[in-house]
Amino acid sequence: MFGFENMKISSSAATNPVINLDQGDPTAFQEYWMSTKMKERCVVVIPGWDLMSYFSDKTNVCWFLRQDLAEAIKALHRAIGNAATEERYIVVGNGSTQLCQAALFALSSLSEDKPLSIVAAVPYYSTYEEEASYVQSQLYKWEGDARTFNKPGPYIEMVTSPNNPDGTIREPVVNRGGKVIYDFAYYWPHYTPITHRQDHDIMLFTFSKIAGHAGSRIGWALVKDIEVAKKMVQYLTINSIGVSKESQIRATAILNELTKSCRIKSESFFKYGNEKVKSRWESLRWVVDKTGDKFTLPDYPLAFCNFFGKSSSTYPAFAWLGCNKDKDLKILLKEKYVLKRGGERCGSDKKYVRVDMLGPNKDFQDFLNRLLTIKYPRCFL
């Protein structure tokens, strides 16, 4: 059911070790933090007597949010220009995963109609379905593809932009006055042009996918309505009594570094990150091209990026790789000891897989090599 079931599959042939590009573990960026320039920065030192209380600021709606993290979040959004933070409540969570569930809880608790329908346009982030279903809540109900959703009454639409898994720029598709949760995990300039400052009622961000610190489990929501923010905090209080203070001070240090150096060409993470992801995409497109017309990749339009001050394309954190024939691409790749998330997990077709573009260099290179060797894949026989 959940997204980590591929972890233990191991290759029988030592010469063909399994490459797991299913899980989106963003370790590619570690090299930036290990570089000579960065290695000594953002070191966090925590004495044994520090960070002992449950509380950060008892006067804040989000009482477990550290004030310095709130400031760091606002400063980074201001520097990048990707989201409005004014007149909003910041709610911190154990990753945006937990915040998404907090938002579902908040919106459905405040709705008169229950269970509230939850939808997302196909292909969607596979975890949404799991998050909306696993505890079998009577507050909300997963209803699948937003494009075919026609149930009357209130609903919540999940909008991820750029989208996970296919990298497209998304807007709501139902548009019948329901609630929208915007997931902007990838709305950062290394992945996609920052065309405007997002300004919506509920916007989710994750620390994991900005510069690769997934182990910290930090996410935040920018929330306009105080009642929604309060209900989200209620969820986080009952669910985990808040969020690790250690992770919060580490996220603060790293976000502040990202802000400080974002305009310094030789240091900017976003410049480095953009070059990194772009170069991987160029390699992947070259390989896909080399294999003839067997595979497909989405094309992304150019757009002017306000942050970089120039036109650019989108270089998503995942590649939505397709097979030109109606076959199960995940199984085909598994035969080559390459693990991906199958398209049907995202409400889509088996002929697609989601490929993690942020894995270790060696895994990515090995994947390209194996893709190149697929001369006569079974799906074309």
In the window 106-135, what residues touch a copy of itself (CB under 8 A)? 127, 130-131, 134-135
Q: Does 154 bind a copy of itself (CB under 8 A)?
A: no
Shortest distance (Å) from residue 113 CB to a copy of itself: 14
φ and ψ at 119, to 5 degrees? -135, 160
> Of 257 and 328, which has the nearer Cβ to a copy of itself?
257
Q: Does 247 bind a copy of itself (CB under 8 A)?
A: yes
**Eight-state DSSP code of residue 219:** E
Angle at CA 63, nearest 5°, toward 58 and 67? 90
Shortest distance (Å) from residue 104 CB to a copy of itself: 9
Q: Does 23 bind a copy of itself (CB under 8 A)?
A: yes
- Reduced to 3 states (helix: H, G, I; strand: E, B; else coil), residue 320 is strand
| CA dihedral for 122, 210, 59, 55, sign (positive or negative) | positive
Q: Does 253 bind a copy of itself (CB under 8 A)?
A: yes
Q: Does 168 bind a copy of itself (CB under 8 A)?
A: no
Among 51, 79, 122, 262, binds a copy of itself (CB under 8 A): 51
Q: Does 222 bind a copy of itself (CB under 8 A)?
A: no
Shortest distance (Å) from residue 3 CB to a copy of itself: 7
Q: How far apart are CA 280 and CA 132, in angstroms?
A: 33
Q: Does 376 bind a copy of itself (CB under 8 A)?
A: no
Q: Does 252 bind a copy of itself (CB under 8 A)?
A: no
Q: How far apart are CA 284 and CA 299, in angstroms?
A: 13
Q: How far apart are CA 35 and CA 39, in angstroms?
A: 6
Number of residues that bind a copy of itself (CB under 8 A): 75
Among 244, 283, 296, 313, binds a copy of itself (CB under 8 A): 244
Q: Of the listed pieces 37-45, 158-166, 220-228, 283-291, which binds a copy of itself according to CB under 8 A?
A: 37-45
Among 101, 163, 192, 268, binds a copy of itself (CB under 8 A): 101
**Interacting residues with a copy of itself between 279 and 308 (CB under 8 A):** none
**Interacting residues with a copy of itself between 176 and 195 (CB under 8 A):** none
Bridge partners of 355? 319
Q: What is the DSSP string of 151-180?
A: --S-EEEEEESS-TTT------S--SS-EE
Q: Does 273 bind a copy of itself (CB under 8 A)?
A: no
Q: How far apart are CA 323 and CA 293, in angstroms?
A: 9
> Of 139 and 262, which has the nearer Cβ to a copy of itself?
139
Q: How far apart are CA 166 and CA 120, in angstroms?
A: 13
Among 85, 97, 117, 198, binds a copy of itself (CB under 8 A): 97
> Of 1 and 264, which has the nearer Cβ to a copy of itself?
1
User: HSE-up of 257 (CA within 13 Å, CB side)?
Assistant: 20
How many C-beta atoms lie closer than 10 Å to residue 211's C-beta? 22
Bridge partners of 318? 356
Among 29, 155, 184, 352, binds a copy of itself (CB under 8 A): 29
Using a 10 angstrom Cβ sphere, with 0-12 exposed, 13-18 middle and 19 or more buried, the burial of residue 135 is exposed
